[in-house]
């Protein structure tokens, strides 16, 4: 081995090969070996610490999310009903039966009562059908009507026993199941059946005593033989479900399907983000151009997806002609389109602010706050849930019920709320995108500063 110094660089002769120190400096460093460590290796101490820290922070964040956001949905089901639904009693009879039924309902103020009853004067309505129209118009959740002549018909049946006497013709209960099928099935109908059965039995006992005291034994025997229902069930009731929830697939459209609709919107957000990154235009477009691309492409995708989503419900024989005829399907399509804009553009805006890393936290919060106000009427929930009147899911659900079942037409209000959410996102998305670009520019400037200083020194 020989060493020959040089003016410019030193030369080392090893086994006949000459290597300059400059050449050694040019040789690249050995690449780190991949997939060669165990989790407990000492050289991974820093990475292991960061990994565990991320897991702990993520788990703690999920615990906060569960107690802070999941509690909203649990709370919506925990104390149902927290308030009573408003109901009317209308006495067209104005005599014994009307007075008994009215007083019994108004006296029911127990904690188990599901309806808060208010007596309305018969003169306020043109007839029982008019009362039903007011229930459809959502002036009350339920109305009990005691028909005109109910008492006189019963007295006539006593005087001249009539085997065709039907006590259920005395009282009609009007309700609208399609307004909220869960409230009708679990609150209104069970309560009405229990309460009216109690009233009917109490009246039958009182009436039987009165008849026995004022009628001869021969006449009483004749009544029991000819028409025993006059004594055993002098009054009963019928429930007139003015808008039945008779489209099974509607449950998917008015509740669970709304979650699917939001998930589809989230997919579109991810597809758009992935397309921008894969194509490289994310870092090449100006801020103004990027905002336009994001808005136009997202709106176009929502427009396309909404027509196929609407067609899916049509394929399963959902009848959209009930309220608006052939225009019903088009209105339903536009409702889904605007509904996707209202919830989807919010996701599009928030992913810019939160980044994909924290987006799932907003996603689950957005779902739960919307779903919590759709299962039961907001009127029976704690006052906290009044926010639901201004949230997208509640308004989409209400509009769908109008289209499918002919409930009260509030499409203007429902579309207005959805459009308002869309406008908010159209304002916030550009602001968030501008802020994100500004932060990226500042970060790039900070990264370039040391390199510029080093160049200046050289």
Give 175: exposed, middle or buried? Use CB within 10 Å, 0-12, 13-18, 19+: buried
Q: What is the pLDDT of residue 110?
A: 85
Q: What is the pLDDT of residue 452?
A: 62
Residue 12 has pLDDT above 80, yes or no: no
Question: Does residue 248 sit in helix, strand or coil?
Answer: coil
Mean pLDDT of 358-385: 94
CA within 13 Å, CB half, 288: 0
Q: How far apart are CA 370 and CA 381, in angstroms?
A: 14
Q: In terms of Cα–Cα distance, which of 289, 261, 451 is closest to 374?
A: 261
Label residue 1 by pLDDT band (50, 70, 90): very low
Label residue 10 by pLDDT band (50, 70, 90): very low
Write the DSSP assignment of 86-141 as a string of letters.
Answer: EEEEEESS-SHHHHHHHHHHHT--STT--EEEEEE-GGGSSSHHHHHHHHHTTS-S
Give yes or no for a contact between 251 and 182, defined as CB atoms under 8 angstroms apart. Answer: no
Q: What is the pLDDT of residue 222?
A: 85
- H or E element at residue 433: helix 411-457
Q: What is the pLDDT of residue 217?
A: 81
Q: How far is residue 235 from each of residues 100, 127, 162, 445, measured CA to CA in Å?
A: 11, 20, 15, 85
Q: How far apart are CA 301 and CA 347, in angstroms?
A: 14
Backbone angles phi, psi at 216, to 5 degrees: -65, 160
Q: Would you say the C-alpha torsion 285, 291, 297, 298 has a positive or negative sign?
A: positive
Residue 11 has pLDDT above 80, yes or no: no
Q: How far apart are CA 181 and CA 199, in angstroms?
A: 25
pTM (2 d.p.): 0.86
Residue 118 has pLDDT above 70, yes or no: yes
Give yes or no for a contact between 407 and 401, defined as CB atoms under 8 angstroms apart. Answer: yes
Q: What is the pLDDT of residue 43?
A: 87
Range in 15-29, 182-196, 346-360 the model is least confident about: 15-29
Residue 143 has pLDDT above 70, yes or no: yes
Full set of structural domains in the chain with CATH: 85-241 (3.40.1710), 250-443 (no CATH)
Give yes or no for a contact between 265 and 340, defined as CB atoms under 8 angstroms apart. Answer: yes
pLDDT, one tens digit per residue, over 250-259 is: 999 999 999 9
Mean pLDDT of 441-456: 72
Q: What is the pLDDT of residue 31?
A: 63
Write the DSSP assignment of 50-95 as a string of letters.
Answer: HHHHHHHHHHHHHHHHIIIIIHHHHHHHHTS-SSPEEEEEEESS-S
Mean pLDDT of 8-25: 50
Residue 162 has pLDDT above 60, yes or no: yes
Mean pLDDT of 258-287: 93
| Joined tokens for residue 125 | 């309505």
Backbone angles phi, psi at 118, to 5 degrees: -130, 130
Backbone angles phi, psi at 114, to 5 degrees: -100, -15
Q: What is the pLDDT of residue 109?
A: 86
Mean pLDDT of 117-134: 96
pLDDT, one tens digit per residue, over 81-92 is: 999 999 999 999
Q: What is the pLDDT of residue 185?
A: 96
What is the residue-averaged pLDDT of the chain? 90
Label residue 396 by pLDDT band (50, 70, 90): very high
pLDDT, one tens digit per residue, over 21-66 is: 555 555 555 666 778 888 888 888 999 999 999 999 989 989 998 9
Q: How far apart are CA 169 and CA 229, in angstroms?
A: 13
Mean pLDDT of 381-399: 96
């Amino acid at each position: 081995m020989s060493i020959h110094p040089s003016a410019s660089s030193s030369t080392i002769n090893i086994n006949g090969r000459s290597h300059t120190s400059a050449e050694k400096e040019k040789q690249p460093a050995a690449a780190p070996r991949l997939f060669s460590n165990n989790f407990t290796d000492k050289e991974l101490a820093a990475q292991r610490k960061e990994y565990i820290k991320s897991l702990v922070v993520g788990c703690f964040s999920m615990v906060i999310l569960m107690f802070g956001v999941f509690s909203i949905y649990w709370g919506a089901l925990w104390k149902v009903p927290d308030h009573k639904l408003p109901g009317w009693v209308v006495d067209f009879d104005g005599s014994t039966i009307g007075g008994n039924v009215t007083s019994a309902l108004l006296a029911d103020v127990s904690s188990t009562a599901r309806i808060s009853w208010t007596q309305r004067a018969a003169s306020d309505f043109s007839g029982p059908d008019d009362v039903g129209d007011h229930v459809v118009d959502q002036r009350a959740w339920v109305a009990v009507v005691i028909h005109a002549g109910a008492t006189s018909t019963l007295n006539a049946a006593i005087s001249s026993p009539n085997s065709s006497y039907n006590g259920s013709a005395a009282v009609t209960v009007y309700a609208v199941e399609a307004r909220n099928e869960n409230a009708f099935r679990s609150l209104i109908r069970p309560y009405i059946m229990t309460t009216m059965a109690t009233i009917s039995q109490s009246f039958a006992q009182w009436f039987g005593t009165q008849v026995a005291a004022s009628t001869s034994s021969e006449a009483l025997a004749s009544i029991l033989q000819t028409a025993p229902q006059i004594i055993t069930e002098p009054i009963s009731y019928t429930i007139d479900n003015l808008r039945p929830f008779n489209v099974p697939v509607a449950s998917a459209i008015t509740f669970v399907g709304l979650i699917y609709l939001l998930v589809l919107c989230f997919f579109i957000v991810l597809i758009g983000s992935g397309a921008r990154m894969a194509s490289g235009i994310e870092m090449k477009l100006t801020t103004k151009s990027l905002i336009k691309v994001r808005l136009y492409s997202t709106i176009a995708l929502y427009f396309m997806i909404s027509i196929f989503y609407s067609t899916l419900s049509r394929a399963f024989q959902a009848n959209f002609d009930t309220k608006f005829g052939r225009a019903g399907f088009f209105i339903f399509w536009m409702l889904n389109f605007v509904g996707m804009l209202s919830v989807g553009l919010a996701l599009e805006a928030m992913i810019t602010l939160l980044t994909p890393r924290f987006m799932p936290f907003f996603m689950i919060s957005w779902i739960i706050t919307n779903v919590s106000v759709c299962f039961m009427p907001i009127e029976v929930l704690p006052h906290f849930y009044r926010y639901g009147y201004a949230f997208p899911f509640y308004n989409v659900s209400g509009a769908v019920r109008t289209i499918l079942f002919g409930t009260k037409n509030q499409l203007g209000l429902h579309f207005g709320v959805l459009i308002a959410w869309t406008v908010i996102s159209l304002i916030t998305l550009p602001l968030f995108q501008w802020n994100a670009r500004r932060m990226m520019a500042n970060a790039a400037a900070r990264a370039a500063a040391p390199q510029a200083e080093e160049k200046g020194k050289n």
